[in-house]
Amino acid sequence: MSNQDNSKYQLTRYDVEVRAVNRDTKDIADWRDAHRTAERVLMPNRVRLYDLYADVLLDGHLSGVISKRFDAVLNKALYFENEKERVKEMDKLCRSLKFRDLITLILETKLWGVTGIEFIPGAELQFLKMRRKHIKPNIGIYTKEQYGYEGYDYKKQQNLWVIGDPEDLGLLLKCSPYALYKRGGMADWAQYCEIFGLPVRVVKYDAHDTQTKVELKKVLDESGTALALMIPNQANFEMHDGKQSNGNGELQETFKNALNNEMSIIILGNTETTSNDNGGSNAKSKVHRNEQLEITKSDIKYVTNIINDPQFLAILKSYGYPVDGGEFVFKKDVDLTEINTQMGLAQQAKLMGVPIGDDYIYELTGIPKPANYEAQKKTAAAQVADDNADDEKKPPVTKKKRQSGEPEDWTDTELSSWNKLRAKLADFFDPPR
Which pLDDT value is given to residue 65? 96
Which pLDDT value is given to residue 351? 85
pLDDT in tens, 18-75: 899 999 999 999 999 999 999 999 999 999 999 999 999 999 999 999 999 999 999 9
Kindly state the percentage of the chain with pLDDT values over 70.
79
- Per-domain boundaries in the chain: 6-173+299-318, 335-399
Query: Which of the four pLDDT bands, split at 50, 70 and 90, describes residue 142?
Result: very high
Of 83-97, 346-360, 388-402, the least confident: 388-402
pTM (2 decimals)? 0.74
The answer, yes or no, to whether residue 277 has pLDDT greater than 50, is: yes
Average pLDDT over residues 97-124: 95
Higher pLDDT, 210 or 330: 330
Burial class (CB in 10 A: 0-12, 13-18, 19+), 162: buried
Which pLDDT value is given to residue 144? 92
Query: Which of the four pLDDT bands, split at 50, 70 and 90, describes residue 285?
Result: low
Give the CA distances from residue 266 to residues 74, 172, 210, 263, 423, in Å, rounded to whole numbers and listed in that order: 20, 9, 61, 5, 50
pLDDT in tens, 230-258: 888 877 777 666 565 566 678 889 999 99
Query: Which of the four pLDDT bands, split at 50, 70 and 90, describes residue 431?
Result: low
Which pLDDT value is given to residue 406? 57
Query: What's the rounded Cα separation, in Å, for the pair 356 and 411?
Result: 32
Average pLDDT over residues 126-152: 94
pLDDT in tens, 406-428: 555 544 444 455 565 566 556 66
In three state form, how does the secondary structure of the chain look?
CCCCCHHHCCCCCCCCCCCCCCCCCCCHHHHHHHHHHHCCCCCCCCHHHHHHHHHHCCCHHHHHHHHHHHHHHHCCCEEEEECCEECHHHHHHHHCHHHHHHHHHHHHHHHHCCEEEEECCCCCCCEEEECHHHEECCCCEEECCCCCCCEEECCCCCCEEEECCCCCCCCHHHHHHHHHHHHHHHHHHHHHHHHHCCCCEEEEECCCCHHHHHHHHHHHHCCCCCCEEEEECCCCCCCCCCHHHHCCCHHHHHHHHHHHHHHHHHHHCCCCCCCCCCCCCHHHHHHHHHHHHHHHHHHHHHHHHHHCCHHHHHHHHHCCCCCCCEEEEECCCCCHHHHHHHHHHHHHHHHCCCCCCHHHHHHHHCCCCCCCHHHHHHHHHHHHHHHHHHHHHCCCCCCCCCCCCCCCCCHHHHHHHHHHHHHHHHHHHCCCC
Query: What's the rounded Cα separation, in Å, for the pair 266 and 174?
Result: 7
Kindly state the percentage of the chain with pLDDT values over 90.
48
Query: What's the rounded Cα separation, in Å, for the pair 214 and 413?
Result: 101
Average pLDDT over residues 172-191: 94
The answer, yes or no, to whether residue 5 has pLDDT greater than 60, is: no
The answer, yes or no, to whether residue 334 has pLDDT greater than 80, is: no
Pairing label, strands 228-232, 201-205: parallel
The answer, yes or no, to whether residue 6 has pLDDT greater than 60, is: no
Query: What's the rounded Cα separation, in Å, for the pair 13 and 152?
Result: 11
Average pLDDT over residues 79-86: 92
